[in-house]
Amino acid sequence: MFVLLQIYPLEAVGDDDPTPLDAIAVDGSQERLEEYLAGYQEHYRAACAEFAARDPNPDGDWTSEHDCLSEALMDQHCVDVQDRRSARAGIGIKSSVGRVRRIT
């Protein structure tokens, strides 16, 4: 089995979830995950760019406005995340998308 991971910077670690990563997809085929990754990265980059352009307060703290914008962009760009911490980190903070790893 192979897993596609999204790894976040340490500042994205939350009190309720100390692991700065999400498993985006799991498959028995590394090739299928690599294909999925190519499309996912395009969507993810587009969502990050749009978030940066529309950020209501880029120099301030994260607010409910950021939550709303992040959720809307995730839906619009078909970016899969597991929880709201992921939304903050994934779109509001640069993260690393695209680690396909073999799991046993």
For residues 97 and 103, the answer to whether their CB atoms sit within 8 Å is no
* Encoded amino acid at 47, one letter: A
For residues 22 and 81, the answer to whether their CB atoms sit within 8 Å is yes
| Domains in the chain, number | 1
Per DSSP, the three-state class of 87 is helix
What domain range is 88 assigned to?
2-102
For residues 51 and 69, the answer to whether their CB atoms sit within 8 Å is yes
**Would you give per-residue pLDDT tens digits along the chain (104 residues)?**
888 887 776 666 666 666 777 788 888 998 998 888 888 888 888 888 888 888 888 787 778 888 888 888 888 988 765 444 444 455 554 555 556 666 65
